[in-house]
Amino acid sequence: MEIYAVRAGDTLYSVAKKYSVDPSRLADANQLADPSRLAVGSALVIPGYGGGALRQAEVNGYAYPNIPAAVLNATLPYLTFFCPFSYSMTPDGALLPIDDRPLVFSAYAANTAPLMTVTNLGSSGGFSGDIAHAVFTDEAVQTRVIDNILSTLREKKYYGINFNIEYVHPFDREGYNAFLRRAADTFHPLGYFLSTAIAPKTSDAQSGLLYQAHDYAAHGEYMDRVIVMTYEWGYTYSSPQAVSPVDRMRRVLEYAVTRIPPGKLLMGFSNYGYNWQLPWRQGEAASVVSSAAATALAASVGAEIRYDAVAAAPYFYYTDAQGRQHAVWYEDARSWQARLALVEEFALAGISIWTIDKLYRPGLEVLGGTFSAEKIV
């Protein structure tokens, strides 16, 4: 896979000529909003370069039910699993439904296995440790959850389940493990595929509400796949920084493979970035930006894109029309390539993309030029 970093004076046509590629194909592969304006320092995927036999890898993608059909259909060929997000458990064991029938149908049409995503999202929209506690500690509530999941699996024809249960109280760690064991004992004999999503830890003793109740070894024992959410170092309320710095992802994986068989691991893969206003102040929220929108923004304001080689992440600074300074960190073709290299380095099963709601064609070009998505349905 060839990736070219734009230099001052480059045009779409000069780069296309350099690589003997049709300019329109080059523009399409890189999802250029304005092909006449290239941001200096931006990464361009050169379509048609590379080749040879590709190793298969598993690719999971999360999406909200309102994902545009065109975006979903463009992405499904690259996916092994697809997780519509999400069925929320309630404290009494009910599941809040989503409009997922068209999504499940589209997944199977693309030979992609749909997984029913089950979460502990509360009424405020955030993850609720109290909901998880009710499910883990009240046998009647837990039985209703299990029964409701099974009913939905059968009704909607899901291939399996993804448990994305976060911010669990530390004292519920063993309760969570027992819940997963019961899920495995219930659903595996019926032929259902089971997976979980867990926080990015570097040791079992790592403190913090996000981490303590996630027992890597137990998840690896009971589940068929485990998604390690290796993203959100840069997040809404953090200081400006990479969302998924490769150096920190590597440290998480170094620990993860000592507790979970690498062939069960899917590495979390961010497909977005953040735009921070400067100077950064604690408590001020950054705005989410898609990779395509970030690249277009840099080109429109004439910003030079820089690349942090340690984090393997692009970033740039600019001043808006009101005179306010901004810092933007996001993902590009180079950061996709660097993160995909970790799959080979650690012999992982594959990756899990959060989320596929915003199409990023250069990333899919890199993915498709690196791995062939394994299809199991």
58 classed as catalytic: no
Q: Which of 58, 166, 331, 365 is catalytic?
A: 166
Using an 8 Å Cβ cutoff, are 235 and 319 in contact? Answer: no
The per-residue pLDDT for range 117-142, each reduced to its tens digit, is 999 999 999 999 999 999 999 999 99
The terminus-to-terminus CA distance of the chain in angstroms comes to 28
User: What percent of the residues of the chain are helix, what percent strand, and what percent coil, each to the nearest 5?
Assistant: 35, 25, 40
Q: Residue 241: which of 176, 330, 323, 165 has the closest Cα?
A: 330
Output the six-digit token pair for 208: 């913090």
What digits encode the pLDDT tens for the residues 36-61? Answer: 999 999 999 999 876 665 799 999 99
- Residue 270 is inside which H or E element, if any? strand 265-270
- Could you tell me where the DSSP H helices lie in 244-374? 246-256, 291-301, 333-345, 361-370
pLDDT in tens, 199-248: 999 999 999 999 999 999 999 999 999 999 999 999 999 999 999 999 99
Q: How does DSSP classify residue 190?
A: G
Q: What is the pLDDT of residue 39?
A: 98
Q: 55-273+331-373: what fold? A: TIM Barrel (3.20.20)
Asked if the bond preceding 117 is cis, omega within 30° of 0, the reply is no
Can you give the pTM of this predicted structure?
Answer: 0.97
145-165 as b/e, with b when 16 or more CB fall inside 10 Å? bbebbeebbeebebbbbbbbb
What distance in Å separates the CA atoms of residue 372 and residue 236, rounded to the nearest whole number? 33
185 burial via Cβ count (<10 Å: 0-12, 13-18, 19+): exposed
Predicted confidence at residue 51, as pLDDT, reads: 61
Give pLDDT tens digits for 9-40: 999 999 999 999 999 999 999 999 999 999 99
Res 50: pLDDT: 63
d(CA 115, CA 347): 23
Q: Return d(Cα 150, Cα 238) in angstroms, integer.
A: 39
The tokens describing 7, both together, are 């230099």
CB 256 within 8 A of CB 305: no
Mapped onto helix, strand or coil, the DSSP state of residue 91 is coil
**212 to each of 16, 125, 130, 200, 240, how far by Cα in Å?**
51, 22, 15, 11, 26
Per-residue pLDDT of 133-179, as tens digits, reads 999 999 999 999 999 999 999 999 999 999 999 999 999 999 999 99
Q: Which residues of 305-335 are buried (b: 16+ CB within 10 A; e: fewer)?
A: bebbeebbbbbbbbeeeeeeebbbbbbbbbb
H or E element that contains 5:
strand 2-5
According to the model, what pLDDT value does residue 48 have?
Answer: 84
Tokens representing 27? 């523009």
Dig out the tokens for 294 from the structure. Answer: 């970030």
In 3-state terms, what secondary structure has residue 274?
strand
Nearest CA to 216 out of 273, 272, 259 is that of: 259
Q: Express each pLDDT in 262-287 by its tens digit.
A: 999 999 999 999 999 999 999 999 99
Q: Which of 364, 170, 175, 347 lies closest to 260 in space, CA to CA? A: 347
Q: What would the two tokens of residue 72 be?
A: 């979903």
Helix (H, G, I), strand (E, B), or coil: what is residue 164? strand
Give pLDDT, residue 53. Answer: 59
Please state, for a pLDDT cut of 70, what percent of the chain lies above it.
99
Mean pLDDT over the full length of the chain = 97
The length of the chain in residues reads 377
DSSP class per residue in 287-308 = EEE-HHHHHHHHHHHTPPPEEE
The values of phi and psi at residue 348, to 5°, are -80, 165
pLDDT at 17: 97
Q: Quick one: pLDDT band at residue 1, thresholds 50, 70, 90?
A: confident
DSSP SS3 for 225:
strand
Contact 333, 42 (CB under 8 A): no
Band of residue 69 on the pLDDT scale cut at 50, 70, 90: very high
- C-beta separation of 37 from 300 below 8 A: yes
Both structure tokens of 117? 């995503």
